[in-house]
Amino acid sequence: MTQPIQLSGLDEVRNPEPIVAVRDVHQTYGRTEVLHGVSLSLSLGEVLVVVGPSGSGKSTLLRCINGLQPITSGEIHVGGVRVDPHSRQIFLLRQQVGIIFQSFNLFPHYTALQNMTLAPMKVKGLPRAEAESMCRELLSRVGLAEKAGSYPRELSGGEQQRVAIARALAMNPKVMLFDEPTSALDPETVGGVLAVMRNLAEDGMSMIVVTHEMGFARDVSDRIVVFDKGLVIEEGATEMILKNPVQARTRAFFADILKA
């Protein structure tokens, strides 16, 4: 059974100021504008689920929040610091914002433990023994204590994704971004990843989750934001959005999801 994950540094009193603030963000690839003036916020300890059709700009938004993708105009702040990929602060900011992609992005020639200890040792300068002790604890808490010496090829997709989550947690981030973390997994391995994410939410991690897992959204999220064609077309409390969406496009999207 996956154990609850205890995280340090998240016992702060909730601040009325958002930990993530996205204001009128536009983002353009070549001549194509992907984000058309997106604004949203994430409070400390909140779980925000982002849904919408494929190609609507959800993944681009996450990459912009983490500074992996520059924006064309607007502003993004994380913890009060403006996100600027060209700033000297961007590497420090990325340590505060973990991001999990559809693909697991583990180094194939490193074990699970080696994948996890690399950043704490290289970026934070932790001694090997301290980094390994911390990472073994995180592996235990995502239910993979016995897999520390396993290579990615020896792990299932769900196990690789849990290692990827534990690797991100090893940097002690204040915010976690999830980009369809279960979309590449076999149905039988999805539950383990979602259980880890549920535990993170219960322990107060601030999270933005792009997902089509509506059961997770219903049970865990505080708010839902609906994207369509690079715009936020609807947002609100989870129960309100799921039970009584205002926009016809939102109703059509949920109908499609339920059919799938």
pTM, to two decimals: 0.91
The 10 Å Cβ neighbour count of residue 11 is 7
Kindly report the length of the chain: 260
pLDDT tens-digit readout, 199-248: 999 999 999 999 999 999 999 999 999 999 999 999 999 999 999 999 99
Q: How far apart are CA 161 and CA 244, in angstroms?
A: 33
The 10 Å Cβ neighbour count of residue 234 is 21
224 sits in which H/E element: strand 223-228
pLDDT tens-digit readout, 9-52: 334 444 568 999 999 999 998 889 999 999 999 999 999 999 99
Percent of the chain with pLDDT over 90: 82
CA separation (Å) from 205 to 36, 131, 197, 213, 218?
A: 28, 21, 9, 19, 17
Question: Span 120-148, mean pLDDT?
Answer: 96
5 sits in which H/E element: none
SS3 47: strand
The 10 Å Cβ neighbour count of residue 154 is 12
